[in-house]
Structure 1
């Protein structure tokens, strides 16, 4: 059980100490991943950025991810989905949302370049892992030298899926409970992180890093 996301981030950070000598970029998944990412990036003295992707839900169950969309790419994790019209409609709808988020998160700057970097993807927890699988594939297209996934909590089945990806160097997960029902179950304080709060964390972190240069 974690006190809050900051506590979870601090615990994860110590497990990532061996990457301090790498050229690291910490990529947080908005919105709950931002407090985690800030703790990890502070410990590693690394840049912090976000990965703006959004899942494509199954037409019969929107919570079940069949792929993910970024502004530039689309990855489908389920080849049995043959309704191209549905995929096209969902991709267009999701990209409108992502464009709005991009404008919010990148008002005065550009996304970090990931090529030849050690990219550590962080979130506050994962359930099925399907969305993260697609997100990893999208990140991999930018040719980082390593992809590391660091999360406080996930069910063993999700960790198994991600650990078997050749694209992933290492998966670090503190809690892997069999009785997993929801991510918030393992936090004493699991208040919602709004877009406004997430952007504030990101801007504050990057402003501090600039002032240190």
Structure 2
């Protein structure tokens, strides 16, 4: 799921006009060594925080069917995670970096979710909305200054981007559909007798029983008790 979000974000920003203008969109961590070796204008999407959203955890699941309508597997419910990115622009001049950040900000804030056309893999298969917060409001992730200190670089302008994406639940294969009925055998085992050959309670290609019939055939109807007349005393 994480690599699918990476690909969707990179494609979203690249198709906003950055790729046509020669800007490279990467996922590298903006460390001091990396910054010293960069060449062309670059936009870095650094994923630095992943945490589950417990408020969206669900129970249950759903079934998966084959072409004939039979249940072939059962999938556990998806679990939602928040992925937080540090977006930075790198160019030869600060004004060029700010221009790149402005372009990235305009692109990200124009979408409340990742466009479905950009989703691949399990994200596309689930068909769920992948939320996108390009303004960085309400982030619970570590502060940008702490991230820069951990990277060993100098603090510079950056954007906080958060994506809420589902992680597909595990799939458990289901057994084949039942095509034969229950087989019942009766016999006196205490005296060493062998059980009978057995009688199947449900036969293949047999319609449902009538109200007076069971799965093994017509049932014996007991006579109704006689009605008592008024005045008769019960013995």
TM range (shorter): under 0.3
* TM-score calculated relative to the size of structure 2: 0.22
The structure with the greater share of residues assigned to strand is 2
When Rg is computed on C-alpha atoms for both structures, the one with the higher figure is 2
What is the TM-score when the length of structure 1 is the normalising length? 0.23
